[in-house]
Copies of this chain bind each other. A is one copy, B any other.
Amino acid sequence: MASEQTPSDARCELKPIAEFRSMYTEKNGTPRQSGICPEALGCFTIHKDVFNNPEHSLEGIADFSHLWLIFLFHKNNNSYTKAKVAPPRLNGVRVGLFSTRSPYRPNPIGLSLVKIERIEGSCVHVSGADLLDGTPIIDIKPYIGDYDAPSTAATTDQSTSSTHRTAAWVSCPPIESLSLNFTPEAERQTEQLSAENQLRFIDSADLRRAIVNILSADPRSAYRRKRCSDRLYFFKVDCVHVTCWFNGNVAQVLRVKMLEDSDQTDE
């Protein structure tokens, strides 16, 4: 890109360097941010057409515990973006797009911090990702606390952190918090699936915790929360299909079952 170009002309074409393999295959139930579900396992393999020896580009990466994944929100199909958006936590109130991590951005770029679990050749296994299966990754950087965490002097506001300040609606959203329970049947189903050990990504023992983490963060959109209180909520974790019911502020897990082959297709 020539430095003389005006910024509006300085377009840049990006080419994915890897595709993320995730236990999340659809928007419903996928964590909204990285780290929310530490049990979420996934992996990516550096494409062979990026480097002749992709594994060379990962040398030394095991010396770090965490990585940034910079990726494309490839499932967005809206062709324009709005200057203000309604984050789910604000329950319909709109704020400036750049005050949020909304996926609907002028450039559909996402940023996630993940933990490295293990490296096999040019394949990196990670946990805590909030990426859908098939997400194109455009860059990977090591997490370095000295540069990637605020280190300025304490602020004087009411924030819990002494080094940075976050909008109050992020940490204390104006929506009531959810309590969560499993019906006895769903509890039994979860235990049985955990015992059967047939999951593809996560350790079966973590299944219940993964379901709890996903629901505790209230995965519904504001629209869904307000307008669809009569509808059941479905999501998939790994190869398990979960049915639940939001009754006011109670999320109740009704059914936990293995996906049939016919359920595996994306909607």
Which residue numbers of A lie inside 8 Å of B, CB to CB? Answer: 1, 3, 7-8, 10-19, 33-36, 38, 46-47, 49-54, 56-61, 63-68, 70, 72, 74-75, 81, 83-84, 95-101, 105-109, 111-113, 115, 128, 134, 136, 138-152, 155, 161, 164-171, 266
Which chain B residue lies CB-closest to A15?
B11
Which residues on the B side are within 8 Å of A52 (C-beta)?
Answer: 83
CA distance A67 to B99 in the complex (A): 9
A101 touches B141 (CB 8 A): yes
A5 and B224 alpha carbons, distance in the complex (Å): 30
Tell me whether B147 and A33 are in contact (CB under 8 A): yes
> In the complex the two chains form, what is the Cα distance from A54 to B8 in whole Å?
14
Closest to A84 in B: B56
- A34 and B147: CB pair below 8 A? yes
How many copies of this chain does the complex contain? 2
Rounded to whole angstroms, the CA-CA distance of A51 and B3 in the bound complex is 24
In the complex the two chains form, is A70's CB within 8 Å of B111's CB?
Answer: yes
User: Chain B residues near A57 (CB, 8 Å)?
Assistant: 83-84, 96-98
Q: How far apart are A48's CB and chain B's nearest CB, in angstroms?
A: 9
- Tell which of B18, B64, B96, B146 touches A7, judged by Cβ atoms closer than 8 Å: B18
Residues B145 and A167 in contact, CB atoms below 8 Å apart: no
Among B38, B105, B139, contact of A107 (Cβ-Cβ < 8 Å): B139
A266 / chain B contacts, CB cutoff of 8 Å: 3
- Distance in Å: Cβ of A86 to nearest Cβ of chain B: 12
Known pairs A3-B74, A11-B14 / 11 extra A-B pairs, C-beta < 8 Å: A7-B47, A10-B72, A10-B136, A14-B14, A15-B107, A53-B83, A57-B84, A60-B99, A64-B166, A66-B150, A142-B166
